[in-house]
Amino acid sequence: MTSPARNRQGDATRLRLLETAERLFAAHGVDAVSVRAVNAAAGLGAASVNYHFGTKDDLLAAVLVELGASVRDRIRANADRLADSPDSPDAESLVRAVSTPYLELLQRHRTRGMRWVKIIAQIAPQGHPALAATDQHLPEILFEQVRRAFPAADPQRLAARWAVSVMGFVQALSQADEWSREGSMLSPDELVTFYEDVVTFVVGGVERLLGS
């Protein structure tokens, strides 16, 4: 086997493991899924995950980056845009800076994107190390804009209340299809409507929690 062919086979195996882990983590929870289960579900040997990724946490980090790099980069760009403005951001612009990249991901990759959102919803409240390792946590530059928007807020509670607001959005979005009246995947238009409803709700919460 030539080296390019071997590399292509390795890339295909790696992608197979990533997509299998993504599906299992989203459906059953990261803690409930073992490396052995990922290998078996992918139809690969018992050492496949260890060979291609290392540990389970390394595999999780790779799953987060696979789709999440674009979300991370868009949030950073949005935060930079807010920082460049001479005017302090309002609650809606802050929430949309974080939330719009999630919607864009789901519009590009409906099934896999929703799996990614479900995984984030699971591990973000725990502060899982994979979030920091892959820089999937909210960038500090965005929180600077939160402080700028609410300078009178209690600094000791500001971070916690902002985190509650953002996680409320992520948790709600992760359940979008489950909340469908038909119990099926929301259509593209229904997804946007659901997203807008959640954003409206979260913006109200941010104004109430952070503005008090």
**CB neighbour list of residue 115: distance below 8 Å, 6 or more residues apart:** 22, 23, 25, 26
Average pLDDT, the chain: 90
Res. 208: pLDDT tops 80: yes
Q: Give the C-alpha separation, 179 to 194, whole Å.
A: 10
In this predicted structure, the answer to whether residue 51 has a pLDDT above a threshold of 70 is yes
pLDDT the model gives residue 8:
62
* Amino acid at residue number 177: D
The pLDDT of residue 200 is above 70: yes
pLDDT at site 1: 47
pLDDT exceeds cutoff 80 at 153: yes
Question: What is the pLDDT at residue 132?
Answer: 78
Q: What are phi and psi of 87, to 5 degrees?
A: -95, 145
The per-residue pLDDT for range 105-135, each reduced to its tens digit, is 999 999 999 999 999 999 988 888 888 767 7
Residue 212's pLDDT is what?
A: 66
Q: Is 148 in contact with 210 (CB distance < 8 Å)?
A: no
- Amino acid identity, position 145: Q
pLDDT band at 3 (very low <50, low <70, confident <90, very high): low
183 phi, psi to nearest 5 deg: 75, 20
